[in-house]
């Protein structure tokens, strides 16, 4: 692994290896012992594995802090534009390994631990996962923070410090059971509490007009409640650079830890209750449930973090520039989906009500500050809020939105004379039926740029959900295909692969992932191919040991590892994968002498707690696994495992071990996908539809190195329009019918024929995601996979070419595009001679 020597600032203290900044093995050992004593207050002999983790975390954090402070001061001095990434989720994954890697200290730390009688991997294992996100969207935010720092772009990630992140998933009797995620139980060495950075956030109440001292008519918000947001800062170090950026997460609090006044008035319980209510705001991350579950708290959360973040940005602007006129030159604020879209109204409120700007100047500033990324086309996932709820919680914002809407709709009327239907569609408020505020419309109107997350998705945005907005402002729209950070995806997850690539690829490929192209000629090199297979086999062995330990199932590392790892959702079609497994089971049972390519099917992923069908799919996977794995007639050639509790940490074990990556969503439904990129970076081949970023991955790696099946988005549309009847497809496909019959027969459910009926009935009657329609094409393609896998050399060649050509899916590429086309943000480079301002 690359070591970055000379990164240290050569101040007098650091000359002779300061305890808190020294990088040598000796200095690290000294620092570790020192922290062990002074942080945990224990002798070495008494320390637990958790203590070892905490102490190493502090030791590494010490090595970030000077850079953190220097970066902030240099950013300020440079006057450079700061990117503010507003996101309700940051799915960071463990910090310790990442920071050691980015500091270039891996080998030294490993050796220091060894000399202290500890194993680095076991120490890393102790870190609790900061699971502050649901899935792809939250993980993307974390990858982007990594790339922003690595590209030396001044950036702040703003979000919520949830006390409970995404639930831990336990499998009981094949069902998902949710367990609360107390990730802060043992403390969090990576965060720096900032008690001085606290902002008030108002909720509820009403507004009134008043005349200010200059005789102007103004609006005042008289809230029912005020909570406070306190900042918790986490340093985000770039890879191989000096820069450390800031992740600032807000925790909600009551005004005082105790309301003394109420106490004195005798309302003790009332005071305690206010405190509980206030602290609830940042208590728990919402799982991406079915629409409309317990939404009030969610709206408050969104407003809470957005308001704190904008107040913080305004404070910084006033401090650094002294005025708010240049706000859009100072900040580019990215809305990660519509969850922070209330920012459009909140910035208007802050500028007009609190900072006394004229409406037009405020609107001009607001529209030049925000940019919006859309992450979904599913109509049911587009966020709207009932007008009643909105008015009750955010009365002033509703007034502001109405005013924005009036002016906006006048503009629409002027452009499209007489087209009142269009006006109704584009309105920020859906006046029909339920009367709701449309957050995507608000985000479009309040932003200077709107983007989708893969080419196909961006095109579909323009022709479907945001069509009217595209017709009005085509210049606002662009595509920014997602990317993932190769630091975590390759270097941290797959050290053997990293070492093998290091042997043959020149230059710092982890920063310039396109350099992986240098691997191409090695696809023809038999020795290299052999080594490549060795790397894959070792990853499969590691996963097999893990699966043995946590699931208790034995899997054969020499079988084809066929993996589908992502949130469980009908549109992602895990049940299509299951139908393939059941079909193979059928084939083997009907012909006991049949030899197939031995496969291990690996699933992983959480279902939203309220999503019944997704939970039933998990039960189905586990039920099929139970029967298949214990049937001696098939279990030499077929195994199925569901790896529980997929999170960043467990995923790092899974991606490297895959031979085949399942990216089988119905075309047009997956906005991009990022797991598809992670698998491919680790040398898996993809079986996939032309959906999301699969399309671009296939273009990049070459159609001959990608297993394509299924209907295109257009064909999906046509089939649906022509009146799709799934049962007629089932009738005509004998193999599909017997697979469905077998599930129906109760074989996988101890004779209970009702258990999977909701799933099966839905497949036969509605099949909204065209599982039946794509089944034949999928099975034929899987048969091709089986044949190709047996040709070991050709498979390895394809695997190498996948990695060689995947460089464009680094999040560095994505962030460069955002910086150049949307944010207009530039690097602030620092080196060992950069002084503290």
Q: Which residues bind ligand F58 (CB under 6 A)?
A: 134-137, 140, 288, 375-376, 453, 482, 670-674, 692
Considering just the CA atoms, what is the radius of gyration of the chain in Å?
28
Which residue, 376 or 559, is less far from ligand F58 as judged by CB? Answer: 376
Q: Are strands 477-479 and 560-565 parallel, antiparallel or unpaired?
A: unpaired
- Of 29, 52, 349, 375, which one is the catalytic site residue? 375
Q: Is residue 566 annotated as part of the catalytic site, yes or no? A: yes
Q: Is residue 567 annotated as part of the catalytic site, yes or no? A: yes
* Cβ 670 to ligand F58 shortest distance, Å: 5
Residue 485, phi-psi category: left (phi > 0), alpha (psi -120 to 50), beta (remainder): beta
Q: Are strands 155-160 and 660-663 parallel, antiparallel or unpaired?
A: unpaired
- Of 438, 536, 567, 698, which one is the catalytic site residue? 567
* Cβ 569 to ligand F58 shortest distance, Å: 8
Residue 201's contacts (CB-CB under 8 Å, 6 or more residues apart) are 226, 227, 228, 229, 252, 303, 304, 307, 308
Which residue, 113 or 618, is less far from ligand F58 as judged by CB? Answer: 618
CB 229 within 8 A of CB 251: yes
* Cβ 140 to ligand F58 shortest distance, Å: 4
CB 384 within 8 A of CB 377: no
Which residue, 330 or 606, is less far from ligand F58 as judged by CB? Answer: 606
* Cβ 821 to ligand F58 shortest distance, Å: 17
Q: Is residue 678 annotated as part of the catalytic site, yes or no? A: yes
CB 176 within 8 A of CB 837: no
Which residue, 162 or 748, is less far from ligand F58 as judged by CB? Answer: 162
Residue nearest to ligand F58 (CB): 136
Which residue, 238 or 692, is less far from ligand F58 as judged by CB? Answer: 692
- What are the b/e assignments for 771-806, b being 16+ CB within 10 Å? bbbbbbebbebbeebbebbeeeeebbbbbbbbbbbb
Q: Are strands 447-452 and 370-373 parallel, antiparallel or unpaired?
A: parallel
* Cβ 483 to ligand F58 shortest distance, Å: 10
At 259, list the tokens. Answer: 């309301």
Beta strands in 624-691 (DSSP E): 638-643, 660-663, 685-688
Q: Is residue 46 annotated as part of the catalytic site, yes or no? A: no
- Of 59, 498, 674, 686, which one is the catalytic site residue? 674
* Cβ 658 to ligand F58 shortest distance, Å: 18
Which residue, 95 or 678, is less far from ligand F58 as judged by CB? Answer: 678
- What are the b/e assignments for 439-468, b being 16+ CB within 10 Å? bbbbbbbbbbbbbbbbbbbbebbbeebbeb
* Cβ 561 to ligand F58 shortest distance, Å: 23
CB atoms closer than 10 angstroms to residue 431: 10
How large is the angle between the packed helices 734-744 and 574-590, nearest 10 degrees? 100
Which residue, 87 or 108, is less far from ligand F58 as judged by CB? Answer: 87
Closest listed residue to residue 445, CA positions, set 417, 486, 384, 404: 404
d(CA 645, CA 663): 20
Q: Is residue 821 annotated as part of the catalytic site, yes or no? A: no
* Cβ 135 to ligand F58 shortest distance, Å: 4
- Of 572, 573, 580, 805, which one is the catalytic site residue? 572
**DSSP code of 515?**
G
Which residue, 105 or 454, is less far from ligand F58 as judged by CB? Answer: 454
Q: Is residue 612 annotated as part of the catalytic site, yes or no? A: no
State the catalytic residues.
375, 566-567, 572, 674, 678
């Amino acid at each position: 692994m690359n070591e970055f020597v000379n990164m240290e600032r050569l101040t007098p203290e650091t000359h002779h290896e300061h305890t808190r900044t020294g990088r040598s093995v000796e200095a690290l050992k000294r620092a570790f012992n020192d922290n062990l004593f002074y942080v945990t207050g224990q002798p070495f002999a008494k320390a637990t594995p958790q203590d070892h983790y905490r102490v190493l975390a502090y030791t590494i954090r010490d090595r970030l802090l000077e850079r953190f402070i220097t970066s902030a001061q240099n950013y300020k001095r440079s006057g450079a534009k700061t990117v503010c990434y507003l996101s309700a989720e940051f799915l960071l994954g463990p910090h310790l390994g990442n920071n050691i890697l980015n500091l270039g200290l891996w080998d030294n730390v490993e050796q220091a631990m060894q000399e202290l009688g500890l194993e680095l991997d076991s120490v890393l294992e102790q870190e609790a996962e900061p699971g502050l996100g649901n899935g792809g969207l939250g993980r993307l935010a974390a990858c982007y923070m990594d790339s922003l720092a690595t590209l030396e772009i001044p950036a702040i990630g703003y979000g919520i410090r949830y006390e409970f992140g995404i639930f831990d998933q336990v499998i009981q009797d094949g069902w998902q059971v949710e367990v609360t995620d107390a990730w802060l139980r043992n403390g969090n060495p990576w965060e720096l509490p900032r008690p001085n950075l606290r902002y008030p956030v108002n909720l509820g109440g009403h507004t009134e007009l008043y005349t200010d001292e200059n005789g102007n008519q103004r609006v005042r918000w008289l809230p029912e409640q005020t909570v406070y947001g306190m900042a918790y800062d986490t340093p985000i170090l770039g890879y191989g650079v000096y820069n450390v950026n800031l992740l600032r997460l807000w925790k909600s609090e009551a005004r005082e830890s105790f309301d003394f006044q109420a106490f004195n008035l005798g309302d003790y319980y009332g005071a305690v209750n206010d405190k509980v209510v206030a602290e609830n705001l940042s208590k728990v991350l919402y799982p991406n449930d079915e629409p409309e579950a317990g939404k009030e708290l969610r709206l408050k959360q969104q407003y809470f973090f957005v308001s704190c973040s904008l107040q913080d940005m305004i404070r910084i602007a006033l401090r650094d520039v002294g005025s708010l006129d240049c706000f859009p030159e100072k900040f580019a604020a990215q809305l990660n989906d519509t969850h922070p879209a209330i920012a459009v109204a909140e910035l208007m409120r802050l500028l007009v009500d609190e900072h006394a700007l004229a409406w037009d100047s405020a609107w001009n500033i607001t529209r030049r500050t925000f940019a919006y990324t859309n992450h979904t086309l599913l109509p049911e996932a587009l966020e709207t809020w009932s007008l009643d709820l909105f008015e009750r919680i955010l009365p002033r914002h509703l007034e502001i939105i109405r005013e924005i809407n009036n002016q906006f709709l006048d503009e629409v009327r002027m452009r499209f004379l007489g087209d009142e239907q269009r006006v109704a569609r584009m309105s920020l408020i859906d006046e029909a039926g339920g009367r709701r505020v449309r957050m995507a419309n608000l985000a479009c109107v309040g932003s200077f740029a709107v983007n989708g997350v893969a080419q196909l998705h961006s095109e579909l945005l323009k022709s479907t959900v945001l069509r009217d907005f595209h017709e009005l402002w085509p210049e606002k729209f662009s595509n920014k295909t997602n990317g993932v950070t190769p630091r975590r995806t390759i270097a941290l997850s797959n050290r053997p692969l990293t070492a093998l690539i290091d042997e043959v690829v020149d230059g710092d490929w982890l920063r310039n992932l396109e350099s992986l192209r240098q691997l191409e000629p090695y696809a023809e090199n038999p020795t290299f191919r052999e080594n490549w297979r060795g790397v894959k086999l070792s990853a499969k062995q590691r996963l097999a040991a893990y699966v043995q330990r946590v699931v208790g199932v034995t899997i054969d590392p020499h079988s084809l590892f066929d993996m589908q790892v992502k949130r469980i959702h009908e549109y992602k079609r895990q049940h299509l994968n299951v139908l393939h497994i059941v079909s193979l089971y059928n084939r083997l049972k009907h012909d006991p002498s049949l030899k197939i390519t031995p496969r291990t099917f690996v699933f992983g992923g959480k279902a939203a707690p309220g999503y019944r069908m997704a939970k039933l799919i998990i039960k189905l996977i586990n039920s099929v696994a139970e029967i298949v794995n214990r049937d001696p007639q098939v279990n030499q050639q077929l195994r199925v495992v569901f790896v529980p509790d997929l999170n960043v940490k467990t995923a790092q074990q899974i991606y490297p071990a895959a031979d085949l990556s399942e990216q089988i969503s119905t075309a047009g439904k997956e906005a991009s996908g990022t797991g598809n990129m992670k698998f491919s970076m680790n040398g898996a081949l993809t079986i996939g539809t032309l959906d999301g970023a699969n399309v671009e991955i296939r273009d990049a790696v070459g159609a001959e190195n990608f297993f394509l099946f299924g209907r295109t988005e257009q064909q999906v549309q046509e089939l649906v329009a022509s009146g799709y009847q799934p049962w007629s497809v089932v009738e005509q496909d004998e193999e599909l019918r017997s697979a469905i019959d077998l599930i129906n027969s109760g074989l996988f459910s101890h004779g209970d024929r009702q258990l999977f009926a909701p799933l099966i009935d839905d497949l036969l009657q509605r099949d909204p995601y065209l599982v039946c329609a794509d089944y034949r094409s999928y099975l034929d393609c899987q048969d091709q996979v089986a044949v190709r896998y047996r040709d070991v050399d050709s498979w390895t060649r394809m695997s190498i070419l996948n990695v060689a050509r995947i460089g464009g899916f680094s999040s560095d590429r994505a962030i460069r595009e955002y910086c150049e086309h949307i944010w207009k943000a530039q690097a602030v480079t620092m080196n060992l001679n950069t002084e503290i301002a």
